[in-house]
Amino acid sequence: MSVTVIRSGLLTTVQDLGRPGHAHLGVPRSGALDQPAHRLANRLVGNPSTAATLETTLLGCALRVDRAVTVAVTGAPCAVRVDGRPAAWGAPVRLPAGATLDVGPATRGVRSYLAFAGGVAAAPVLGSRSTDLLSGLGPAPLAPGDVLPLGEPVGPPAAVDLVPTPAPPDPLLLPVLFGPRDDWFTVGSRTALTASDYRVSPTSNRIGLRLNGPPLERARDGELPSEGMVLGSVQVPPDGRPVVFLADHPTTGGYPVIGVVPAAALAAAAQAAPGTPVRFTPARRRG
């Protein structure tokens, strides 16, 4: 069983839960940016959460299936059509053999997730089928004419008509734990980070959520030796405008990290479109 790409959209990639545990090799975790949406799409078609889905960016995609298969689209709301006729978003949809599925542009948010019963069976690399834009591991971003293999269905689709999901964030509220290099910034910068209004930059991508807003002033000059970077790091480059690291982030870096956004808060960041207001809020450390 396979699907053929008719329209690849702005950026459509294969994603699963990623390849954690390889940072010491310089390999990011990667994986679906909005993991709750990825998991829901798989659940709707009867897949385990580990199955690979397609992650679209803003403009959707279109594909033709060679055999009958159940699909589901979640994440950013969008119009879904089968051979030109409207179909459900956020629910299982049965496609007949030869049908064309069109996942339209996001009406809100950024990334939609398309699951096929059986999952996308691209060849795994280091235990994952995810496309990693930074290292180049995994399948290349989709292009018209690409043929993607599908796995065998393992379970029945969910017995639901429609699953409610949260709306994309507006504004985006990000909790932040200060450190490990917050001492590289003035007291005023720490205050500014949680008191200022930022907006998502159009230059954001799967590597990082780039923000426009007041620059953060350093308390010292120079650069750090490269050190490990974790998911959610709020790194501050020389222009002073923070970048929140997402799934394809580099595993090391020399710019100071003023704080870290807990991973659980990053799914909402995946759906923050350019121009979305962003506010950082101090988070409490557990224990």
Question: Quick check: 45 and 117 in contact, CB under 8 A?
Answer: yes
Please give the pLDDT value at position 25.
87
Please give the class, per CATH, of domain 172-282. Answer: mainly beta
Within 8 A by CB and 6+ apart from 27, the residues are 19, 126, 132, 135, 137, 251
Question: Quick check: 19 and 27 in contact, CB under 8 A?
Answer: yes
Does 287 have pLDDT greater than 60? no
Residue-wise pLDDT tens digits, 165-209: 777 888 999 999 999 999 999 999 999 999 999 999 999 999 999
Q: Decide: residue 175, CB within 10 A, 0-12 exposed, 13-18 middle, 19+ buried.
A: middle
Residue-wise pLDDT tens digits, 122-132: 999 999 999 99
Q: Residue 226 gets which letter from DSSP?
A: P
pTM of the model: 0.95
Q: Residue 231 gets which letter from DSSP?
A: T
Question: Quick check: 107 and 78 in contact, CB under 8 A?
Answer: yes
| Domain limits, the chain | 2-149, 172-282
